[in-house]
């Protein structure tokens, strides 16, 4: 069993929680003041997810911003970034256009969030 | 090469505030709306803010900056708003003549029925902080580093120290790590971080980036390119404590040490500015002290959320439309909002009428068990921090009860992390 | 002072403890060798030795024990196509002095090469200096000294220079402000001393002072007013001089460092640079901070430069109305080697405060320091109480090339015929530059250089148009000529693409080169907005990848590569 310290981000109080973790699950905690905080802390300990966004190179120079269509595990953020490092797209690209399907088999796509002219 | 004409409504700045103002004015029936922007595309700062967190309030969605602003840019095109890009406004006269220049039209002299100022803000540079040391290449403000990386696709550096833990710096810390650029530390002068807790967690803690509080950069090393910085702890007055210096090797120093509303044009026109915000004194209709001139967004004060920027833009657009129709009566009885204890700034600084008013306030230090007092009214909050603005809405009757002076103060217990 | 007295003083003074010193005098030059405990001792001894009778130059090789020498990196370079060619005169150093000399020489039928080690001109002292065109060399200077005479001569020549070379120049005058009542009775006396330099001055009483300078504090009781004091942007003058020199046939070699001087039969034959050799019959050593080293390369060391750092603060031009004249404190001073600095107007409206004066061992030490910047603020803010800290937009530092005699060393080399040393040009170097150039040409003539006037010489040079300063009609005309003057790149100074492209065409290859020629990046946002745009323009106009563009040459790349490279490298 280990004890992890986390900052809750649900509200400006920013409670500093100490969570007892066993087998990858939150089994007890202290320092939290509300239910929403408990929910957040549980998720963060068990399976922290993060929005993934980066930029992708455009042929001819420049970059276009992209994001994943859903959050991905925090632990795989850098992997996702490396996965897209070699990608080069060609205009035209519309906002929302899918550039990569099922990124790293995680069930999310990568879509453009900006435009590229043709 | 010149263009001289009358334009019903001129909006200076095509970022979040300017576009929102232009769109709302158009919706309210203003025939001719011109938006002038100095960049090569509209959107202001948002196209380079590629992270999420935008639009949670306004759209009820979690969007990236580019996605957020795209909706406004698209709508602006569809609604026939004239967008003049790579156009620099050089001067605004008190008679509402907007003087600008671009390569297509040459010198522009636009006599505006109404003007909405939406120039946003700029970053505080190293020079004004007087950080000792050399003047090598490799020193960037966070926004410039962001533009180089996420618009131009260029690497500002490979090993970075970030001075200032404001949100822009924290956001860039994460971007750097995601691009394989090493972030040695984020250095913050105050005893607490300058940005949102969410960003401290998701930009620093997630990546194991050290946050050095109560510290500052006391020297920049390197003659041609940055070779390192010396960091030291500071005392209560921000002065370096001798003996606490240590050197951190790096090739880049990124500064996130303050945003300053860009009000050269406002000053030039003789518009009254608020020393606390650095922006024009405005009322709830976003009117400045110059007739027919409104201001919205970060040029008024640096907001925390773009959603608020959009709302102030819409308010300005709506008021400008009413003004152009002759329906905005001159202010009768101006109530002056007075920032008091624990309040760093409040906008609007004046209340002209007796309809509902939304106040945006920044506290000067983190507090919990908070009571915000506006005139005689109290509002309770669990906790407040400087990076997060406190938004208060007063209904008509509540406004009517206010006196000529509206003191705003915040009471609470110290909040530690 | 005689030698015995010198040794007495050195032995008696406890501040010289720990010094091991060897001294010899040879034909008017005193050579100091040995070790000390501190840099202060090196400078003190140098100054002391300068007072020896019959000594006209001090070569000071003393060095503090254990103090590392400055690292000087030399990149290997390719041989240039001009390697082995011959010219009449080589001028080493394209600072304001070297540039002025080259321009003077370009009046004559001569092949002249102007050799500069940096990637652009004026990057030594000329860009790190203040903006003063002094009326005189200061009360501590002997009116008969070279610097005192050349200062007054040079000052008078500036109007013509400014007109011919099209650079901004103004004469706001200087008010040396008195705050201490005790000094009032001495003002006329001081004024007389000033007049002995040939510098006009008059005493101004309280009433008139208040009218002339309303921003002064209550304590200001009187002042000395010097009407001939002017302001200029030294790097702008340097660029103008070089452009005119080149237009008149001077060959400018940038990024070319002199590493040796060829002397045969007691006569200069050529210079050896890191890109090749140039044969010449005459050599002008105007190498600023490194002039002592060039003299040494020729086998005739005659002076040593001891660097004296000066830090300055720059106040936003939006506070330009705060003062109408240059201001300086009229007070009893501690340091006799510096005029004390002041508050200077500049040609672009900013206020320049400083400089400080601090002896430093390393010529490249242009770091600003907390103490230095604080000192400037504390010394000068009492004179303009309306200026706040937040009005300061940046600070910078330069290093003066001072000799131990604290005077200019402008003379033919003792041992090498055909070579003229122009060393120790510290303040009032900028002011004296026109007069120095004239004098050096005279000295070259005396050394045997034949001067035949060139009928095609054109003294006039046109500056890059400054969009921000043009009237409406002029702006329109400019836009018709070139639309790019309508695309503003620098938000703070309203510098346009037209100006930037022209600066690049005229020789700027770096961010600083563009900055110094156009002012882009010098405003209150200090390049925050324009840097990405300037990079793109430099890359486009020079046909180089953006990653290769530097701030100031050498290794000062602005961006280190392209995005994704670190991720792909693994």
* Number of compact structural domains in chain C: 4
- Same-domain pairing of A67 and A107: yes
The answer to whether residue A118 sits within a structural domain is: no
The answer to whether residue A117 sits within a structural domain is: no
- Same-domain pairing of A60 and A78: yes
Residue C534 near residue B124, CB atoms below 8 Å = no
- Same-domain pairing of C483 and C543: yes
Strands (E), C168-275: 169-170, 174-178, 202-204, 222-226, 230-232, 251-253, 258-264, 267-273
The reported pLDDT for the residue numbered B296 is 98
For residue C305, the number of C-alpha atoms closer than 13 Å in the C-beta half-sphere is 29
The shortest C-alpha distance from C543 to chain A (Å) reads 15
- Same-domain pairing of C409 and C397: no
- Same-domain pairing of C342 and C297: no
CB environment C522-555: b (16+ within 10 A), e (fewer): bbbbbbbbbbbbbbbbbeebeeeebbebbbbbbe
The shortest C-alpha distance from C532 to chain B (Å) reads 6
- Same-domain pairing of A60 and A103: yes
The shortest C-alpha distance from B128 to chain C (Å) reads 4
List, as ranges, residues 344-403 from C with C-beta within 8 Å of B.
364, 366-370, 372-373, 390, 392-396
Residue of C567, C569, C570 to mutate for A, most A C-beta atoms under 10 A:
C567
The answer to whether residue A76 sits within a structural domain is: yes
Q: Where do the H-state alpha helices sit in B191-253?
A: 197-199
Q: And the tokens for C535?
A: 């990079």
- Same-domain pairing of A61 and A92: yes
The answer to whether residue C137 sits within a structural domain is: no
- Same-domain pairing of A58 and A108: yes
Q: And the tokens for C489?
A: 């790149």
- Same-domain pairing of A65 and A96: yes
- Same-domain pairing of C344 and C388: yes
The answer to whether residue A13 sits within a structural domain is: yes
- Which domains are delineated in chain B? 1-123+258-330 (3.50.50.60), 125-257 (3.50.50.60), 332-417 (no CATH)
Q: Residue C11: which CATH number?
A: 3.30.1340
- Same-domain pairing of C211 and C350: yes
The answer to whether residue C92 sits within a structural domain is: yes
The answer to whether residue C134 sits within a structural domain is: no
Whether B2 contacts chain C with CB within 8 A: yes
Tens-level pLDDT at each residue, chain C (570 residues): 899 999 999 999 999 999 999 999 999 999 999 999 999 999 999 999 999 999 999 999 999 999 999 888 888 899 999 999 999 999 999 999 999 999 999 999 999 999 999 999 999 999 988 899 999 999 989 999 999 999 999 999 999 999 999 999 999 999 999 998 888 999 999 999 999 999 999 999 999 999 999 999 999 999 999 999 999 999 999 999 999 999 999 999 999 999 999 999 999 999 999 999 999 999 999 999 999 999 999 999 999 999 999 999 999 888 878 899 999 998 877 666 677 899 999 998 899 999 999 999 999 999 999 999 999 999 999 999 999 998 998 999 999 999 999 999 999 999 999 999 999 999 999 999 999 999 999 999 999 999 999 999 999 999 999 999 999 999 999 999 999 999 999 999 999 999 999 999 999 999 999 999 999 998 889 999 999 999 999 999 999 999 999 999 999 999 999 999 999 997
Q: And the tokens for B275?
A: 């020393």
The answer to whether residue C112 sits within a structural domain is: yes
Q: Which mean pLDDT values do the consecutive 10-residue runs of chain A (118 residues) have?
A: 88 86 90 89 92 96 96 96 97 95 97 93
Pairing type for strands B2-12 and B33-36 reads parallel
Q: Give the integer Cα–Cα distance in Å for B324 and C326.
A: 49
- Same-domain pairing of C292 and C325: no
Is residue B270 classed as helix, strand or coil in its secondary structure?
coil
Q: Residue C211: which CATH number?
A: 3.30.9.10
The shortest C-alpha distance from B151 to chain C (Å) reads 10
Query: Which residue from B66, B153, B383 is facing A57, i.e. has the nearest CB?
Result: B153
Q: Do B384 and A12 touch (CB under 8 A)?
A: yes
- Same-domain pairing of A59 and A87: yes
Q: Do A81 and C568 touch (CB under 8 A)?
A: no
Q: Residue A88: which CATH number?
A: 3.10.530.10
The answer to whether residue C487 sits within a structural domain is: yes
Range of the domain at A87: 53-112
Q: Give the integer Cα–Cα distance in Å for A47 and C69.
A: 57
The answer to whether residue A96 sits within a structural domain is: yes
The shortest C-alpha distance from B63 to chain A (Å) reads 9
Whether B146 contacts chain C with CB within 8 A: no
Q: Do B62 and A115 touch (CB under 8 A)?
A: no
Q: Give the integer Cα–Cα distance in Å for A116 and A41.
A: 39
Query: Looking at C47, C134, C197, C325, which residue is catalytic?
Result: C134
- Same-domain pairing of C300 and C258: yes
The answer to whether residue A57 sits within a structural domain is: yes
- Same-domain pairing of C89 and C119: yes
Q: Give the integer Cα–Cα distance in Å for B310 and B15.
A: 10
Whether B157 contacts chain C with CB within 8 A: yes
**Residue A79 is inside which H or E element, if any?**
helix A77-83
- Same-domain pairing of C218 and C324: yes
- Chain A residues close to C563, C-beta within 8 Å: 55, 57, 63
Q: Do C392 and B130 touch (CB under 8 A)?
A: yes
Q: And the tokens for B338?
A: 């007075």
- Same-domain pairing of A57 and A78: yes
Q: Residue C438: which CATH number?
A: 3.50.50.60
The reported pLDDT for the residue numbered A11 is 81
Range of the domain at C48: 3-64
Whether B272 contacts chain C with CB within 8 A: no
Measure the N-to-C terminal CA separation of chain A; round to a whole number of Å. Answer: 56
Q: Do C563 and A57 touch (CB under 8 A)?
A: yes
The answer to whether residue A84 sits within a structural domain is: yes
- Same-domain pairing of A57 and A24: no
List, as ranges, residues 328-367 from B with C-beta within 8 Å of C.
none
Whether B267 contacts chain C with CB within 8 A: yes
Q: Give the integer Cα–Cα distance in Å for B14 and B73.
A: 9
Active site residue C134: yes
Q: Do A57 and C567 touch (CB under 8 A)?
A: no
The answer to whether residue C106 sits within a structural domain is: yes
Q: Is the ipTM of this complex over 0.85?
A: yes
The answer to whether residue C221 sits within a structural domain is: yes
pLDDT tens per residue, range A7-21: 888 887 888 899 999
Tens-level pLDDT at each residue, chain B (417 residues): 899 999 999 999 999 999 999 999 999 999 999 999 999 999 999 999 999 999 999 999 999 999 999 999 999 999 999 999 999 999 999 999 999 999 999 999 999 999 999 999 999 998 888 999 999 999 999 999 999 999 999 999 999 999 999 999 999 999 999 999 999 999 999 998 999 889 999 999 999 999 999 999 999 999 999 999 999 999 999 899 999 999 999 999 999 999 999 999 999 999 999 999 999 999 999 999 999 999 999 999 999 999 999 999 999 999 999 999 999 988 878 999 999 999 999 999 999 999 899 999 999 999 999 999 998 899 999 999 999 999 999 999 999 999 999 999 999 999 875
Using CA of residue A9, residue A13, residue A16, residue A19, what is the dihedral sign? negative
Q: Do C568 and A85 touch (CB under 8 A)?
A: yes
Q: Give the integer Cα–Cα distance in Å for C541 and C544.
A: 8
Tell me B275's DSSP state: T
- Same-domain pairing of A41 and A59: no
Q: Do B153 and A114 touch (CB under 8 A)?
A: no
- Same-domain pairing of A42 and A68: no
B252 CB contacts (<8 Å, ≥6 apart)? Answer: B138, B139, B140, B145, B156, B157, B158, B159, B160, B161, B226
The answer to whether residue A14 sits within a structural domain is: yes
- Same-domain pairing of C220 and C315: yes
- Same-domain pairing of C390 and C409: no
Q: Which of B362, B360, B358, B359 is nearest to B344 (CA)?
A: B362
The reported pLDDT for the residue numbered C336 is 67
The reported pLDDT for the residue numbered B165 is 96
Residue of C nearest to B2 (CA): C476
* Number of compact structural domains in chain A: 2
- Same-domain pairing of A37 and A73: no
pLDDT tens per residue, range C78-101: 999 999 999 999 999 999 999 999
Q: And the tokens for A74?
A: 């925090």
- Same-domain pairing of C109 and C194: no
């Amino acid at each position: 069993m280990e004890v992890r310290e986390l900052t809750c981000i649900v509200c400006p109080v920013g409670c500093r929680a100490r969570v007892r973790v066993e087998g990858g699950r939150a089994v007890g905690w202290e320092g939290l003041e509300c239910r929403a905080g408990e929910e957040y802390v549980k998720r963060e300990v068990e399976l922290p997810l993060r929005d993934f966004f980066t930029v992708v190179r455009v042929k001819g120079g420049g970059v276009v911003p992209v994001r994943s269509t859903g959050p991905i595990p925090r632990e795989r953020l850098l992997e996702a970034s490396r996965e897209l490092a070699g990608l080069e797209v060609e205009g035209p690209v519309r906002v929302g256009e899918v550039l990569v399907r099922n990124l790293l088999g995680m069930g999310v796509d990568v879509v453009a969030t900006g435009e590229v002219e043709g | 090469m010149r263009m001289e004409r009358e334009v019903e409504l001129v909006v200076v700045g095509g970022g979040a505030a300017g576009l929102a103002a232009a769109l709302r004015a158009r919706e309210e029936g203003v025939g001719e709306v011109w938006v002038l922007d100095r960049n090569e595309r509209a959107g202001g700062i948002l196209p380079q803010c590629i992270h999420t967190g935008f639009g949670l309030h306004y759209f009820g969605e979690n969007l990236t900056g580019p996605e957020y602003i795209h909706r406004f840019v698209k709508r602006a095109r569809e609604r026939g708003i004239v967008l003049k890009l790579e156009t620099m406004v050089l001067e605004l006269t008190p008679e509402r003549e907007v003087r600008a220049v671009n390569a297509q039209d040459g010198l522009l002299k636009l006599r505006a029925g109404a003007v909405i100022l939406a120039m946003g803000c700029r970053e505080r540079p190293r020079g004004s902080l007087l950080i000792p040391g050399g003047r090598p290449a490799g020193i960037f403000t966070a926004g410039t580093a962001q533009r180089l990386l996420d618009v131009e696709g260029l690497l500002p550096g490979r090993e970075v120290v970030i001075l200032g833990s404001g949100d822009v710096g924290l956001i860039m810390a994460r971007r750097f790590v995601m691009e394989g650029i090493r972030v040695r530390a984020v250095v913050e002068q105050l005893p607490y971080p300058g940005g949102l807790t969410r960003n401290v967690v998701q930009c620093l803690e997630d990546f194991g980036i050290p946050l050095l509080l109560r510290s500052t950069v006391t020297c920049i090393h390197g003659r041609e390119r940055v070779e390192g910085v010396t960091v030291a702890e500071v005392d209560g007055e921000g002065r370096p404590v001798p003996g606490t210096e240590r050197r951190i090797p790096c090739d880049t120093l990124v500064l996130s040490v303050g945003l300053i509303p860009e009000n050269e044009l406002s000053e030039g026109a003789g518009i009254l500015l608020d020393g606390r915000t650095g922006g024009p004194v405005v009322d709830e209709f976003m009117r400045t002290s110059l007739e027919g001139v409104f201001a919205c967004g970060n040029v008024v004060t640096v907001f925390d959320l773009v959603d608020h920027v959009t709302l102030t833009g819409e308010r300005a657009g709506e008021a400008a439309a009413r003004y152009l129709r002759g329906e905005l009566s001159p202010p009768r009885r101006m109530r002056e909002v007075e920032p008091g204890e624990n309040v760093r700034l409040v906008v609007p600084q004046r209340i002209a009428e007796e309809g509902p008013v939304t106040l945006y306030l920044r506290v000067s230090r983190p507090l919990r068990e908070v009571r915000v007092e506006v005139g005689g009214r109290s509002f309770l909050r669990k906790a407040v921090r400087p990076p997060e603005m406190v938004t208060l809405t007063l209904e008509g009757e509540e406004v009517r009860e206010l006196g000529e002076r509206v003191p705003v103060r915040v009471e609470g217990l110290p909040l530690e992390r | 002072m005689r030698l015995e007295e010198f040794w007495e003083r050195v032995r008696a003074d406890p501040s010289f403890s720990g010094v091991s010193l060897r001294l010899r005098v040879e034909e008017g030059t005193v050579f100091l060798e040995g070790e000390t405990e501190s840099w202060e001792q090196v400078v003190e001894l140098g100054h002391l030795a300068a007072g020896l009778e019959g000594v006209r130059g001090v070569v000071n090789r003393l060095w503090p024990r254990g103090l590392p020498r400055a690292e000087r990196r030399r990149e290997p370079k390719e041989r240039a196509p001009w390697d082995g060619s011959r010219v009449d005169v080589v001028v080493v150093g394209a600072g304001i002095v070297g540039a002025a000399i080259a321009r003077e020489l370009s009046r004559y039928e001569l092949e002249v090469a102007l050799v500069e080690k940096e990637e652009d001109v004026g990057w030594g002292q000329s860009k790190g200096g203040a903006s003063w065109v002094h009326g005189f060399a200061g009360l501590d200077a002997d009116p008969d000294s070279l610097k005192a005479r050349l200062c007054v001569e040079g000052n008078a020549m500036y109007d013509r220079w400014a007109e011919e070379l099209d650079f901004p120049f103004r004469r706001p005058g200087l008010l040396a402000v008195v705050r201490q009542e005790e000094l009032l009775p001495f003002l006329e006396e001081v004024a007389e001393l000033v007049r002995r330099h040939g510098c006009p001055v008059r005493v101004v009483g309280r009433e008139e002072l208040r009218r002339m300078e309303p921003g002064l504090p209550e304590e200001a009781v009187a002042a000395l007013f010097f009407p001939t004091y002017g302001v200029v942007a030294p790097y702008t003058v340097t660029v103008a001089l070089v452009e005119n020199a080149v237009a008149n046939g001077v060959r400018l070699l940038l990024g070319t460092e002199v590493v040796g001087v060829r002397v045969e039969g007691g006569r200069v034959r050529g210079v050896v640079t890191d890109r090749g050799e140039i044969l010449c019959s005459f050599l002008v050593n105007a190498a600023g901070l490194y002039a002592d080293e060039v003299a040494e390369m020729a086998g005739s060391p005659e002076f040593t430069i001891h660097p004296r750092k000066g830090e300055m603060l720059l106040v936003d031009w939006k506070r330009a109305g705060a003062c109408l004249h240059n201001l300086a404190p009229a007070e009893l001073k501690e340091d006799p080697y510096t005029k004390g600095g002041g508050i200077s107007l500049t040609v672009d409206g900013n206020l320049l405060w400083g400089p400080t004066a601090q002896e430093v061992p390393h010529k490249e030490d242009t770091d600003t320091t907390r103490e230095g910047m604080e000192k400037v603020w504390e010394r000068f803010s009492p004179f303009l109480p309306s200026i706040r800290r937040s009005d300061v937009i940046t600070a910078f530092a330069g290093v003066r090339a001072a000799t131990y005699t604290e005077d200019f060393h402008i003379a033919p080399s003792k041992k090498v015929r055909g070579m003229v040393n122009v060393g120790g040009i510290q303040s009032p170097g900028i002011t004296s530059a026109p007069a120095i150039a004239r004098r050096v040409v005279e000295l070259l003539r005396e050394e045997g250089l034949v001067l035949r006037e060139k009928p095609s010489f054109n003294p006039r040079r046109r500056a890059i148009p400054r969009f921000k300063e043009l009237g409406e009609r002029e702006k329109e005309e400019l836009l018709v000529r070139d639309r790019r003057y309508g695309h503003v790149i620098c938000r703070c100074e309203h510098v346009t693409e037209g100006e930037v492209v022209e600066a690049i065409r005229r020789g700027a290859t770096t961010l600083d080169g563009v900055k110094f020629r156009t002012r882009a990046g010098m405003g209150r946002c200090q390049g925050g907005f324009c840097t990405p745009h300037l990079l793109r323009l430099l890359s486009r106009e020079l046909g180089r990848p953006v990653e290769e563009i530097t701030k100031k040459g050498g290794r000062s790349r602005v961006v280190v590569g392209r995005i994704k490279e670190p991720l792909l490298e693994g």
